[in-house]
Amino acid sequence: MRPATQSLSPGDAAALIASVGPRVTCCLLGPPGHGKSAVGPLVAAELQLPYVEIAAASVAPEDFLGPLTLVDSPHGPESTWAPPRDLIPRERAVIAIDEITNADTGTLRALHPVLLHGRIGARAIAPGTILIATGNRPEDHPLARTLPSAIVNRMLMLEVRTEVKSWVRWALDHGLREDVVAFVTHRPEALARPVADDNIPFSSPRAWTQLSRALDALDGPGVPVHRRRATIEGLVSPVDAAVFASLLDEAFDFQIPAWKYLAGTEPLPAGDASLWQALHAIRVAVTDNTVEGVSPRRVRTFLSKLHADIRNALLVGLAPAWAQLGAGDAILDLLDGARA
């Protein structure tokens, strides 16, 4: 399935669906753990409507069509469809059909009249009901199927993807741990990694949210460090778990801004993981031009005291940005070393 060119946050998708939902069925696609399932409750809360969620992969075609049964007629027994289960309420509501791309062919066929014509069995769905389908694209999940063109052509197809800034705002509003939020803020690529194979955990907004809540439960006295590390490794991608766990072990202070290292008011941390996290933060600050109030003399003093390997790691690829901060001599030293 061709990915959408414009992705929306869960909040933006909910606002859009609250406006157009009664007129067109919407389908939300995107990677696992990016908040697709949160959109329906947001719409229901906004419109003050009941919310119903149906897991498409866990129902049978008969739940929407009704079971085939025999009835007596003047001409003898005849087969007909009995009324289906009351999965969908009779009053106006927000109805989310979750994991639609994981449903089998028979269930998808049974969903056609629900999604396309607003009918379940012989009964019309209440006017004003909002139908939302959610699922993954084939590249997002190994069990995801491509939806039939008849369904795609009759729904508003939206891609939902949580961006770092919107997730950080949400995380702070919902009381997630400062160390988790700070790590994702400093390493935005860690918010979401590609879906891993072989049951290996992968980082996603949902995984970081779960990790924050799990670590809160492990904050009590006497909890062994290896349990905390096992929890981290069991929820996020290995590359993120290794760095984040080491930073927690070394009690890295995420609140120290990069300019304090450059100004010499804060020493670089001693632990390996903490040192490289601090260097990463400095490079990001220099790249984004967010180092303010540090004189060129202090910048030069900071760089001159570093081991050559660490200094080169900070300078490489960022010569123009460092030059603006007054680090011209250090850049020349790096170039001279390269020529040698």
Asked if the structure places residue 1 within a domain, the reply is no
Q: What is the DSSP string of 64-126?
A: HH--EEEE--TTS-EEEEPPPP--S-SS--EEEEETGGGS-HHHHHHHHHHHHHSEETTEEPP
- CA distance between the termini of the chain: 53
Q: Give bridge partners of residue 95 from the DSSP assignment.
A: 52, 131
Last residue in a domain, options 141, 160, 179: 160
Within a domain: 148: yes
On whether residue 2 sits in a domain, the answer given is: no
- pLDDT for the residue numbered 205: 94
Q: What is the pLDDT of residue 339?
A: 43
Domain count, the chain: 3
**Of the residues 160, 178, 200, the one at which a domain ends:** 160
Residues 140 and 215 in one domain: no
Do 156 and 232 belong to one domain?
no
Distances, alpha carbon 6 to alpha carbons 11, 13, 29, 158, in Å: 14, 11, 12, 8
Q: Are residues 79 and 28 in the same domain?
A: yes
Kindly state whether residues 86 and 24 are assigned to the same domain.
yes
Q: What's the predicted TM-score (pTM) here? A: 0.75
- What share of residues in the chain are helix, strand, coil (percent, to 5)? 50, 10, 40
Domain of residue 335: give its range. 258-339
* Farthest CA pair distance, the chain: 102
**CATH number of the domain encompassing residue 93:** 3.40.50.300
Q: What is the mean pLDDT of each run of 10 residues along the chain (340 residues)?
A: 67 92 87 91 94 84 63 69 63 90 84 80 83 86 79 89 89 93 92 85 95 90 85 95 92 88 90 90 88 85 87 84 76 51
Domain boundary among 160, 184, 211: 160
Sorted by sequence, the CB contacts under 8 Å of residue 29 that are 6+ apart come out as 1, 3, 4, 36, 101, 134, 135, 136, 137, 140, 157, 158, 159, 160
